[in-house]
Amino acid sequence: MKMTMRWFGEQDTITLEQIAQIPIMRGIVGTFEGKGGDVVWTEADFRAMKANIESHGLSLDVIESIPVAEAIKKGTPERDALIDIFCESVRNMGKAGIPVLCYNFMPVFDWMRTNLHHEFPDGSTATAYDHQAMLDYDLSRGLEARVAWARGYSGDELNAIFNEYKALDEEGLFQNFAYFLRRVVPVAQEAGVFMALHPDDPPWPIFGLPRIVRDAATIQRILDVVDSPHNGLTFCTGSLGALAANDLPAMVRQFAGRINFAHLRNVELTGDKSFVEVAHTSAAGNVDMPTVIQALIDIGFTGPVRPDHGRMIWGETGRIGYGLYDRALAAMYLHGVWQGLKHQG
Ligand code: DNO
- pLDDT tens, residue by residue, 37-90: 999 999 999 999 999 999 999 999 999 999 999 999 999 999 999 999 999 999
Tell me what the mean pLDDT of segment 259-278 comes to: 97
C-beta pairs of 335-339 under 8 Å, 24+ apart in sequence: 335/3, 335/24, 337/289, 337/290, 337/293, 338/1, 338/293, 338/297
Comparison of pLDDT for 187 and 343, the residue scoring more: 187
Q: What percent of the chain has a predicted confidence (pLDDT) above 70? A: 100
Distance 345 CA to ligand 1 centre (A): 32
What pLDDT sits at residue 344?
77
**Secondary structure class of 310 (helix, strand, coil):** coil
Quick check: 285 and 297 in contact, CB under 8 A?
no
What pLDDT sits at residue 117?
94
Best residue among 7, 72, 100, 198 to mutate for probing ligand 1's pocket (most ligand atoms within 8 Å of CB) is 198
274-278 β-sheet, strand order: 115-119, 125-130, 274-278, 266-271
Best residue among 68, 72, 103, 104 to mutate for probing ligand 1's pocket (most ligand atoms within 8 Å of CB) is 104
Tell me what the mean pLDDT of segment 102-120 comes to: 95
Please determine, for residue 259, whether its predicted confidence score (pLDDT) is greater than 90.
yes
Tell me what the mean pLDDT of segment 99-107 comes to: 97
Sorting pLDDT into bands at 50, 70 and 90, what band is 345? low
Index of the ligand 1 atom closest to the CA of residue 239: 8
Residue bearing the CA closest to ligand 1, atom 2: 111
Residue bearing the CA closest to ligand 1, atom 6: 103
Please determine, for residue 184, whether its predicted confidence score (pLDDT) is greater than 90.
yes
Quick check: 75 and 83 in contact, CB under 8 A?
no
Cis omega (within 30 of 0) for bond into 65 = yes
Count Cβ atoms within 10 A of the Cβ of residue 39 and give its class: 0-12 exposed, 13-18 middle, 19 or more buried.
Answer: exposed
Spatial distance between the Cα atoms of 341 and 301, rounded to a whole number of angstroms: 14
Please determine, for residue 240, whether its predicted confidence score (pLDDT) is greater than 90.
yes
Tell me what the mean pLDDT of segment 10-30 comes to: 96
Q: What DSSP state is assigned to residue 73?
A: H
Tell me what the mean pLDDT of segment 253-271 comes to: 98
Please determine, for residue 32, whether its predicted confidence score (pLDDT) is greater than 90.
yes
Quick check: 41 and 75 in contact, CB under 8 A?
no
Distance 6 CA to ligand 1 centre (A): 10
The CATH code belonging to domain 2-344 is 3.20.20.150
What pLDDT sits at residue 338?
96
What pLDDT sits at residue 107?
95
Please determine, for residue 231, whether its predicted confidence score (pLDDT) is greater than 90.
yes
Please determine, for residue 244, whether its predicted confidence score (pLDDT) is greater than 70.
yes
**Residues whose CB is less than 8 angstroms from the CB of residue 232 and which lie 6 or more positions away in sequence, other chains included:** 194, 195, 196, 197, 223, 258, 259, 260, 261
- The set of protein residues with a Cβ atom below 6 angstroms from ligand 1 is 64-65, 102-104, 110-111, 148, 198, 263, 309, 321
Sorting pLDDT into bands at 50, 70 and 90, what band is 149? confident
Count Cβ atoms within 10 A of the Cβ of residue 336 and give its class: 0-12 exposed, 13-18 middle, 19 or more buried.
Answer: exposed
Average pLDDT of every residue of the chain:
96
**Residues whose CB is less than 8 angstroms from the CB of residue 225 and which lie 6 or more positions away in sequence, other chains included:** 177, 178, 181, 182, 231
Half-sphere exposure of 139 (CA within 13 A, CB side): 12
Per-residue exposure over 143-173, b if at least 16 CB sit within 10 Å of its own CB, e if not: beebbbeeeebeeeebeebeeebeebeeebb
Sorting pLDDT into bands at 50, 70 and 90, what band is 151? confident
Alpha helices, DSSP H, located in 96-130: none
